[in-house]
Structure 1
Amino acid sequence: MNILKDGDRIHLVDKKSRHYALSLKAGDVFQLSGETIPHDQIIGQPDGTVVTLSTGRRMLALYPTLSEYVLKMPRGAQVLYPKDLGVIIQWADIYPGAHVFEAGTGSGALTMALLRAVGDRGHVVSYEAREDFARTAMKNIERYLGPVPNLTVRQRNAYEGIEEGALDRVILDLPEPWQVVPHAATALRSGGIYLSYVPTIPQVMQTVEALHRTAVFSMIQTFETLLRTWNIEGRSVRPDHRMVAHSGFLTVARKVGPGFGPCAAVESSGEPGLVDEVIE
């Protein structure tokens, strides 16, 4: 059983699914619109317990999932939405033991997703040009994951180069990823995967052009993910009026041997990069 402990970062959740983040500290008091509850009444309780505020309002006290945590953690830079984090892990094929390069670190949301995917046998190297962003990111990461010996954060500008080599994956969340593409072409191992996230099509166009110019990237594809939740209440079944629509475009490419040249992944059955035909 997971027990809520002094020093833990937890969320209190009301019946409207609104989350309120707090760090438990013995002797402190949580306040919300004139209602209070001492932290001591939460510390020692099991994860997911129901707590009662001073006016009788009941809330859930629980450890947040990574998706919930990143939306409420302190931010230095804008974070990637959970819908994009999950897609990045899948399409970049981040696997246990992988050696992954990331730039920039931002507030640490993508870094945490990468760390959980590579596991203890893998390693993540993250470049962040701004010291204040890097400092905020490390606090967020260590608050949620604890000590992370398999993470190296460098205050460096990825546009100027990538120090590491033989990388399995290069993941970029930068305004001008095309400036890093030539460095990624050298730093990635053969068969390695490049992925970048940008909010606009002009940025995508420049990135894809840069990938073509290197002559070592193939299977290039760009897509976006739209997330729409549904309201299910008895016989009232409808999509929610609001959705998390466009947030950014993901461009994925594979580093290959010389002589093959760039090619686009074939679209089939509504799934990018999948082909119906099976060749035996």
Structure 2
Amino acid sequence: MSEPTGAARRRGPFQVGDKVQLTDPKGRHHTFTLEAGKAFHTHKGSFPHDELIGAPEGTVVRSSGNFDYLALRPLLPDFVLSMPRGAAVIYPKDAGQIIAMADIFAGARVVEAGVGSGALSTFLLRAVGDQGLLSSYERRQDFADIAKKNVEGYFGGPHPAWNLTVGDLQDNLVETDVDRVILDMLAPWECLEAVHKALVPGGLVCCYVATTTQLARTVETMRAMRCFTEPQSWESMVRTWHVEGLAVRPDHRMIGHTGFLVTARRMADGVDAPMRRRRPSKGYDSDDYEAPQV
């Protein structure tokens, strides 16, 4: 049985065309692609690429300036954070939440709107695998071109499960019987009618938004439509720790707010979501949010 797309580039000795991440003693990273006959240069000296070709991961190489570098393949989070960008990328902490909390499974049929630089697309393709389907929609051609280059750069070529369309989701969505929909855009509430039509009963929509006003509009529109379960909303924050001997403390800097995530499940046709029993907050008016017709 053939290996999944890109798997051969993730294990074994270094080969020509592999991406290598060098880490210096201060923890700084340098990433480059192995080419026969080439050399890696920094202000700390150089060494030939041929020294790494055929060597195992975890090798330490020494530059002509007597400086040691640890050589490993970059992990997907490393690749995403260093990839060329057109739009801002979804941080690995949020991509991981989407994969887990939106229940992206092998073989799933997924629609993604708002490709940006292709970061989330790469995570989603690894999750759905060669037997799944990821249909991505991006309004801007320049962003789509950058995303395509980044995704193919990671997998070593085109991924068989990926379809990339340039255009608005509302105008171009043709997929049906979709398991999951991921919306990373300024106004995801405008797409919910199209999303409802595309999703299978029990399918899940996940929206990634940056501001509280976007969060409120998205959640209240879902509630007003009555064809989705009660939306769940959250954000995640990552704080690393300094651990050295008895000095164990949280680091002074952390990855704080990057965005909010909202998920909801599609109800069966002709079935309304149960009404909320919680008392709404003062000033709440459901008439502020007009539900699309489904």
Alpha-carbon deviation of 1:85?
Answer: 0.8
Gaps of 5+ in 2: 1-10, 279-294
Q: Deviations over 1:104-129 (max 9, x none)?
A: 11111111111111122211110111
Alignment correspondent of 2:250:
239
Q: How far apart, in 2, do the equivalents of 1:31 and 1:214 lie?
A: 58
Q: Which amino acid aligns with 1:240?
A: D
1:13 is aligned, of 19, 23, 35, to 23
Q: Which moved more, 1:11-20 or 1:70-79?
A: 11-20
Q: How far apart, in 2, do the equivalents of 1:124 and 1:264 lie?
A: 33
Alignment correspondent of 1:191:
202
Alpha-carbon deviation of 1:28?
Answer: 2.0
2:140 is aligned, of 120, 127, 130, to 130
**1:1-280 equivalences in 2 (<5 Å):** 2-33=12-43, 35-146=45-156, 147-257=158-268, 258-261=270-273
Q: Deviations over 1:235-272 (max 9, x none)?
A: 11000000001100001111012333266799xxxxxx
Q: Which moved more, 1:95-104 or 1:174-183?
A: 174-183
Alignment TM-score, normalising by the size of structure 1: 0.90
Q: Cα–Cα, structure 1 residues 34 and 59, in superposed 2: closer, same or farther, change >3 Å?
A: closer
Q: Cα–Cα, structure 1 residues 221 and 212, in superposed 2: closer, same or farther, change >3 Å?
A: same
Q: How far apart, in 2, do the equivalents of 1:208 and 1:92 lie?
A: 16
Q: Deviations over 1:47-86 (max 9, x none)?
A: 2211111101111111111111101111111111111111
Q: Which amino acid aligns with 2:256?
A: A
Q: How far apart, in 2, do the equivalents of 1:89 and 1:16 lie?
A: 32
Q: Which amino acid aligns with 2:96?
A: G
Question: Is residue 217–residue 255 contact of structure 1 (8 Å, CA) maintained in 2?
Answer: yes
Q: Which amino acid aligns with 2:26?
A: K
Q: How far apart, in 2, do the equivalents of 1:78 and 1:118 lie?
A: 23
Alpha-carbon deviation of 1:14?
Answer: 1.4
Q: How far apart, in 2, do the equivalents of 1:159 and 1:199 lie?
A: 21
Question: Is residue 9–residue 143 contact of structure 1 (8 Å, CA) maintained in 2?
Answer: no
Gaps of 5+ in 1: 267-280
Q: How far apart, in 2, do the equivalents of 1:33 and 1:157 lie?
A: 47
Alignment TM-score, normalising by the size of structure 2: 0.86
Alpha-carbon deviation of 1:150?
Answer: 0.8
- Work out the number of aligned pairs and report it: 266
Q: Deviations over 1:122-161 (max 9, x none)?
A: 1111011111211111111112123311111111212435
The root-mean-square deviation of aligned C-alpha atoms, in Å, is: 1.8
Question: Is residue 218–residue 263 contact of structure 1 (8 Å, CA) maintained in 2?
Answer: no
Q: Which moved more, 1:210-219 or 1:79-88?
A: 210-219
Q: How far apart, in 2, do the equivalents of 1:243 and 1:50 lie?
A: 30
Q: Which amino acid aligns with 2:273?
A: G
Q: Deviations over 1:219-240 (max 9, x none)?
A: 3111000111111111110000
Q: Which amino acid aligns with 2:49?
A: H
